[in-house]
Amino acid sequence: MSAPTARPAISASPDAGSGDGPWPHVLLAWPTVALTLLFLVPLGIIAALGFFRRIQAGFFEVAFVTDNYARALDAFHLERLAVSVVLALAATLVTLLLAVPFTYLLTRRPRARQVPYLVLVLASLSLSEVIVAFAWSLLLSRTSGISNLLVALGLMDRAASWSPGLAAVLLAYVFIALPLAVLSLYPTFSRLDQELPEAAGTMGATPLAGFVTVVLPLMRRAVAATGALVFIFVLGAYVIPQTLGRPAQWTMPVHITDQAIMKNHLPLAASLAIVLLVVSSLVAVVIVALGAGRWPRFALPGRAR
């Protein structure tokens, strides 16, 4: 600042901040800078790697070729991309269908009674995707899985193998995403004024009608944000589809891993990763926009405008 004239201290120049000196800026800056660098630099490297040329039976050399991106967008990989997105969307939908009513009912309980549920939900978050995938592959197997228990109980004739398959993949996806969804929904739901659904009840709304016409519209942003979070989380999983899925359920992360580690084709793996990143970001943006915009009209007779 060059102005030498006396100014009221209260209208200090913007770079003077709130007068606390540089420390707040430094403290805020270092994680921001570190995260930005640790995110953007590797991202740039991967994006660039996609244009490098692969050397047969070797590594890669710096070049500018478009073959890798072209291959990442060929019919086979586009189909894999579609399968990945549809699977993740299905898992997101099932997760929300379970997590939203669960969290709503949980937050209507007295606070002390909520604690055991929250502790259990948090505890299951400590399991990694790898453990979950292998645990379910055992639980769903014919030799030592749950079906043996059902046979012992007389509910089934003989043990069956439920893995690998679509259902097994979805089940494990929902299993890892559910606690995350509950924790993401919990703060908003616990702030909901309990008198709002009660008021709906006094005006003749059944608990379900009150939930659909009052609670959901008020919670739609939180539900959409949670949906986007779950979608991205599930889309990134690769042990689950690889372990519990048939080749038909192998998602992009499985193929990226395959190219990067098994086939040693890093440039193709990089270009696949960039395509997946762009598509998943777009889908997440659409999900959040759905939440911020109008809630889809429900089957109730002509909603008032």
Partner 1 sequence: MSASRPDLVIQGLGKRFGATVALDGVDLRLPGGSLVCFVGPSGCGKTTLLRVIAGLETPTTGHLLLGDRDLTRVPVHRRDVGMVFQSYALFPHLTVAENVAYGLRIRGVQRRERLARAQELLELVQLPDVAGRRIAELSGGMRQRVAMARALALDPALFLLDEPLSALDAKLREGMQVELRRLQRRVGITTIIVTHDQEEAMAMADLVVVMGDNRVQQVGPPLEIYRRPVNRFVANFVGRNNFLPARMVAPGAVEVAGVRASVARDLPVPPVGADVTVAARPEMLRLRAQAPATPALRGTVSMVRDLGRAVETRVRVFDHELVVSGRGGFAEGDEVWVELPEAGLVALAA
* Residues found near partner 1 in the complex (CB under 8 A): 193, 195-196, 198-207, 209-210, 213-214, 217-218, 300-305
Nearer to partner 1, 127 or 218 (CB): 218
Min dist CB 103 to partner 1, Å, is 19
* Neighbour-count burial of 157, counting CB atoms closer than 10 A to its CB (0-12 exposed, 13-18 middle, 19+ buried): exposed
Token reading at 170: 């979805």
Token reading at 35: 């995260």
Nearer to partner 1, 36 or 206 (CB): 206
Nearer to partner 1, 7 or 303 (CB): 303
Min dist CB 226 to partner 1, Å, is 18
The H or E element spanning position 60 is strand 60-61
Min dist CB 223 to partner 1, Å, is 14
Nearer to partner 1, 61 or 198 (CB): 198
Torsion of CA 197, 200, 202, 208, to 10 degrees: -80
Sign of the C-alpha dihedral, residues 87, 127, 242, 158?
negative
Min dist CB 194 to partner 1, Å, is 9
Token reading at 28: 């805020």
Min dist CB 208 to partner 1, Å, is 10
Q: Show the CA angle centred on residue 167, arms to residues 146 and 159, nearest 5°.
A: 30
Min dist CB 187 to partner 1, Å, is 18
Min dist CB 102 to partner 1, Å, is 22
Nearer to partner 1, 181 or 219 (CB): 219
Left (φ > 0), alpha (ψ -120 to 50) or beta: where does 21 sit?
left
Sign of the C-alpha dihedral, residues 265, 267, 273, 275?
negative
Token reading at 77: 């990989």
CA 103 – CA 74 distance, rounded (Å): 42
- Reference 242, options 173, 140, 169; nearest CA is 169
Contacts 24+ apart (CB under 8 A), 58-62: 59/264, 59/266, 60/266, 60/267
Cβ proximity of 262 and 209 under 8 Å: no
Nearer to partner 1, 69 or 211 (CB): 211
Nearer to partner 1, 50 or 197 (CB): 197
Most distant pair of Cα atoms in the chain: their distance = 92
Nearer to partner 1, 139 or 218 (CB): 218
Min dist CB 218 to partner 1, Å, is 6
